[in-house]
Chain A
């Protein structure tokens, strides 16, 4: 099962490596990991997408909680939540491909943010699945480069993860 785990942690040097080290040392999967400071600059917010059985995910949250710099851990997938990921994708766009590529980008609500004679760079946000779908929809050889941020997540409604 895919889980999306949100972590509030002290914004201190080395905190990221403690989390990453925990995952590698205990053999847990990391699909994506994003981290950045919050409005309170002493805190960072991290989102990890991982896969594992319920037992494994239970251990992951317990082990994360054990890290001294981790303030809070929530498995967002336990309740309604919103998930977004940003992708920048550079594609080949020449001749009649240019119109087709523009149309495809529009369908997925992407934005073309850089243009050359032969390429478009498209910015796309959405769930990981949507970004996957966009990549699937393109002809493979048209893709020149992709950069994805990994998912960020937040609980739906009034549920707030705060210290």
Chain B
């Protein structure tokens, strides 16, 4: 039997077990929407802006290990989606984006709502396709899902001209797909793993530095097993939080630009560094020349060879899937009868203890104005550390990362690589769809939340009981902080006047709004909000306008050249 391209698209999504498609209709995708209408296996979630569709698909994927799917129309539908696609690309999130295109005969003629989708998105996708013949459609969609989730994951885009969605051909969904040009490595090289085992066994001042690759490859358990067996300190990147339990005594907190003093000091002063699914980026190790001043041996596990020796030369590269390699490492250590070098390790731990005693995350707990850190500490307690927390980008993101102790992977959902303001709310929608019944909090600021505020309408339509924790200091806080530190207190365009009344705004969308102005009211407001299981609650916390995120490593400086709170 012959099917139309549109029918094929929907059949393929069904065959992939897709539960939700986040999208927005338009001329070029009308045939696909018509087919979605005729079935109920794949549910379509109507967002209010295509950026929201991609972030929602992204949040869905990050919180579930499934491929997120977005569907948008040609031209502006695509350009609006680009921010969300680039966000997913930078954080290696598996997504499939289906985009409508003008009919094949109109391509290149500046048709209405035409844009060069494949060209525009090329630098921010793992791969993309333009399907010019309906006969190629099913195989292309199969390839898209395969590419998105295998190897180093990432977004894959399939651009489908309108006439291809109405053309017919016989349909069979391929069971498997092989591509001669694409063969990601899974198992690590045994010789390299052996070398790693030896280095780990001889380490005196070791540290394990684990990033988003641990979360993506589902290796939290393997990492925890290995670290506990080794008895080594462990730190997570912003993307890796939850990859190792934050309440574990071996955990040093997040490292990097706003990492803890102890994590950054240990990272710099270690003699053996085990890097797992992390990429030594500029926000993590600061200036690579400064980082390289100290002699240390580096073992680097990553599925992407191009992540290895990109910014920092490593001694033992291991290309492979993080979970497989970690398991093999543990197995070989056990087989070799590994026993921790107690003497060296206890000296190292007492040094770390000294660094820890700086108490680098301290803040004024007696403040008469609400401190943002205080709100996040209470949020952590009231949700018993078990919420899914999404964030936008800026100070609130860093405080959430510092003060919410994630014990499980896929609970902390933020835009780490691209740093996309506006990510938090639509991502929270995706999280809530992937985890119905779970507690979902969106930590945001008054600047970020306004970038995708329209999605409050989507939340109402689908009754998503997200709790928005808005840390409202009337400033683009991180911009203001940099201007204070590095631009002579000239707060150029970082103050936001004429803010809306967020309570009334939430109410106008049919949600609950609560404004909190006193530290004494913080806890009660949070409790009240999280008790409302069926409501979206917009908590507008009026916070200290001058609070800064500490510690801080200035861009371009060395990792240990931290600005601490007490120094100012």
Which A residues are closer than 8 A to B by beta carbons? 9-10, 13-14, 17-18, 21, 25, 55, 58-59, 62-63, 65-66, 68-71, 163
B310 at the interface (CB under 8 A from A): yes
Whether B309 is near chain A, meaning CB under 8 Å from some CB there, is yes
Please state if A68 and B181 are interface contacts (CB–CB under 8 Å): yes
Q: If A14-B130, A58-B309, A62-B306 touch, does A68 touch B179 (CB 8 Å cutoff)?
A: yes
Residues of chain B in range 481-510 having any CB-CB distance to chain A below 8 Å: none
Cα A62 to Cα B317 in complex, Å, equals: 14
> Can you list 15 A-B pairs, Cβ within 8 angstroms, ordered by A?
A10-B181, A13-B130, A14-B118, A14-B122, A17-B119, A17-B122, A21-B122, A59-B306, A62-B306, A63-B306, A65-B305, A66-B306, A68-B126, A68-B179, A70-B181
Question: Is there an interface contact between A68 and B309, defined as CB atoms closer than 8 Å?
Answer: no
Interface centre among B181, B305, B313 (most CB of A within 10 A): B181
Complex contacts, A9 vs chain B, CB 8 Å: 181
Excluding A59-B306, A71-B181, 9 further A-B contacts by CB distance (< 8 Å) are A13-B130, A25-B123, A55-B309, A62-B306, A65-B306, A68-B126, A68-B181, A70-B181, A71-B180
Residues in A with CB closer than 8 Å to B119 are 17
Bound CA span A69–B127, Å: 9
Inter-chain CA distance A62–B306, complex, in Å, is 5
Q: Kindly provide the distance from the CB of B161 to the nearest chain A CB, expressed in whole angstroms.
A: 14
B residues near A58, Cβ cutoff 8 Å:
309
* A68 adjacent to B127 (CB under 8 Å): yes
B310 touches A59 (CB 8 A): yes
CA distance A21 to B116 in the complex (A): 15
Query: Does more than half of chain A's interface fall in helix, strand or loop, or is it mixed?
Result: helix
Please give, as numbers and ranges, the residues of chain B lying within 8 Å of A69 by CB-CB distance.
181
Asked if B182 is at the interface (CB within 8 A of a chain A CB), the reply is: yes
Is the pair A62, B305 in contact by a Cβ cutoff of 8 Å? yes
Whole-angstrom CA separation of A53 from B255 in the bound complex: 30
CB of B304 closer than 8 Å to a CB of A: yes
Interface string of B173-206 (1 = CB under 8 A from A): 0000001111000000000000000000000000
Contact A18 B122 (CB under 8 A): yes
Decide if A66 touches B309 in the complex (CB within 8 Å): no
CA A57 – CA B249 in complex, angstroms?
A: 42
Chain B residues within an 8 Å CB radius of A59: 306, 310
Q: Please report the C-alpha to C-alpha distance between residue A63 and residue B306 in the assembled complex, in whole angstroms.
A: 6
Chain A residues closer than 8 Å to B181, beta-carbon distance: 9-10, 68-71
Residues of A within 8 A of B147 (CB): 68
In the complex, the 8 A-B pairs of residues with the closest C-beta atoms, listed nearest first: A62-B306, A68-B127, A71-B181, A62-B305, A25-B123, A63-B306, A68-B182, A66-B306
List chain A residues, Cβ under 8 A from B127: 68
Bound Cα distance A163, B119 (Å): 28
Please report the C-alpha to C-alpha distance between residue A144 and residue B220 in the assembled complex, in whole angstroms: 67
A64 to chain B, nearest CB (A): 9
A63 and chain B: residue at smallest CB distance: B306
Task: Give, as a whole number of angstroms, the nearest-CB distance from A158 to chain B.
Answer: 23
Instruction: Given the known inter-chain contacts A14-B130, A17-B119, A68-B126, please indicate yes or no for A163 contacting B180, CB distance below 8 A.
Output: yes
Min CB gap B89→A, angstroms: 12
What separation, in Å, do the CA atoms of A71 and B127 have in the docked complex? 14
**CA of A63 to CA of B152 in the docked complex: distance in angstroms?**
13
Q: Inside 8 A of B305's CB, which chain A residues have their CB?
A: 62, 65-66
